[in-house]
């Protein structure tokens, strides 16, 4: 079982001709309201990739709550540990340009009231996997990591968006997943000399975490750690929107890991899931189903 401890959002997505710069206003023809949040995205991505998943987080008592939960419910994710907050359900405001690049502003709302204590209700147990991101209060994340290690669960931390992590917490993380920007910021926080993302990943795996996976965008993914070093290329697709690519990678990777597959196979499933998610607009609406991932893996590994 994968337990995701993290954020739930309602995403307001607008297509624009170009992303705004500082002080600039741009307009688009309209917007859509879709479920999102890195926690919810990764929970649904893992469920669609074939894993049993439960979501631990918070929503408000407002109209956006159902928007945030509807895809998870349809996807079979266990929602019994979702708390109702007096605050508003979190919202993300996303602009997407014709090349698929995006600009995102998140109003955290109820996500700030998510507490590690909710994991007790979720029934996290030995042999489970705890999957975390950085859109709930960091102190609650670190308590969740400690609780997971006490329970005998594996910990997967996606350091997104980038933020500081205490070294003693990092040493409890089994799998750290970062992109190039997050790797650089973490290296600076820890006072590491390395700046190249792959070198940072190798150093983190040597000194802090059991495994470090660095996603490299169109250059693919690299990993270092107890399972050795691996480098895989990206999946070639026509990019429409990159909003959910990282979350799809994490969910696909986690699902394969939970199924007991070898590291290279886990990375390949993550890469394929992330690539397929770029073909459609939006976050959860773009996450691929298991049969799509399996079919594309055949071509990818050929």
Closest by Cα among 293, 299, 296, 297 to 49 = 293
- Largest Cα separation within the chain, whole Å, is 51
**Dihedral (Cα; 30, 33, 37, 38), 10-degree rounding:** -60
Q: Which of 62, 78, 247, 265 is catalytic?
A: 247
Beta strands 32-36 and 9-15 are antiparallel
In this structure, how many other beta carbons lie within 10 angstroms of the beta carbon of residue 33? 15
Report whether 270 contacts 234 (CB < 8 A): no
Query: In 3D, which of 197, 139, 192 has the Cα closest to residue 169?
Result: 139
CB contact set of 15 (below 8 Å; sequence gap of 6+): 28, 29, 95, 96, 97, 98, 281
How far, in Å, CA of 9 to CA of 37, rounded? Answer: 5
Q: What is the C-alpha separation between 33 and 67, in angstroms, rounded?
A: 8
pTM assigned to the model: 0.92
Q: How would you class 294 by CB atoms within 10 Å of its CB: exposed for 0-12, middle for 13-18, buried for 19 or more?
A: middle
| Predicted local distance difference test score (pLDDT) of residue 162 | 94
Residue 204: predicted pLDDT: 96
Domain with residues 2-300, CATH architecture: 3-Layer(aba) Sandwich (3.40)
Please tell me the distance from the alpha carbon of residue 207 to that of residue 291, in angstroms, as a whole number: 38
128 is a catalytic site residue: no
| C-alpha closest to that of 74 among 35, 24, 125 | 35
Q: Given this model, what pLDDT does residue 184 score?
A: 95
**Which residue from 80, 60, 68, 76 is spatially nearest to 284, judged by alpha carbons?**
68
Report the pLDDT value the prediction gives residue 9, as an integer from 0 to 100. 94
Residue 227, pLDDT score: 86
pLDDT digit of tens for each residue in the chain (302 aa)?
999 999 999 989 899 999 999 999 999 999 988 899 999 999 999 999 999 999 999 999 999 999 999 999 999 999 999 999 989 999 989 898 998 888 989 899 999 999 999 998 888 999 999 999 999 999 999 999 999 999 999 999 999 999 999 999 999 999 999 999 999 999 999 999 998 999 999 999 999 999 999 999 999 999 999 889 999 999 998 888 887 899 999 999 999 999 999 999 999 999 999 999 998 877 788 899 999 999 999 989 86
Per-domain boundaries in the chain: 2-300
């Amino acid at each position: 079982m994968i337990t995701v401890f993290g954020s739930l959002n309602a995403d307001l997505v607008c297509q624009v001709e170009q992303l705004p710069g500082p002080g600039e206003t741009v307009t688009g023809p309209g917007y859509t309201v879709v479920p999102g949040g890195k926690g919810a995205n990764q929970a649904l991505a893992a469920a669609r990739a074939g894993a049993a998943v439960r979501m631990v987080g918070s929503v408000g008592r407002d109209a956006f709550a159902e928007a945030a939960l509807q895809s998870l419910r349809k996807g079979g994710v266990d929602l019994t540990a979702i708390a109702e907050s007096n605050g508003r359900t979190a919202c993300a405001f996303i602009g997407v340009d014709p090349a698929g690049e995006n600009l995102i502003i998140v109003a955290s709302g109820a996500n700030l009231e998510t507490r590690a204590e909710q994991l007790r209700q979720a029934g996290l147990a030995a042999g489970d996997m705890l999957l975390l991101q950085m859109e709930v209060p960091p102190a609650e994340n670190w308590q969740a990591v400690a609780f997971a290690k006490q329970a005998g669960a594996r910990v997967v931390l996606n350091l997104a968006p980038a933020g500081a992590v205490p070294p003693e917490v990092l040493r409890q993380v089994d799998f750290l997943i970062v992109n190039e920007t997050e790797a650089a910021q973490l290296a600076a926080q820890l006072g590491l000399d390395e700046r190249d993302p792959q070198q940072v990943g190798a150093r983190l795996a040597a000194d802090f975490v059991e495994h470090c996976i660095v996603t490299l965008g169109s250059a693919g993914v690299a990993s270092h750690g107890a399972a050795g070093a691996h480098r895989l290329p990206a999946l070639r697709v026509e990019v429409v929107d990159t909003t959910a690519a990282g979350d799809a990678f994490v969910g696909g990777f986690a699902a394969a890991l939970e199924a007991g597959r070898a590291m290279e196979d886990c990375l390949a499933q993550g890469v394929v899931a992330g690539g397929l998610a770029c073909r459609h607009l939006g976050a959860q609406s773009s996450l691929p189903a298991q049969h799509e991932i399996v079919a594309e893996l055949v071509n990818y590994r050929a």
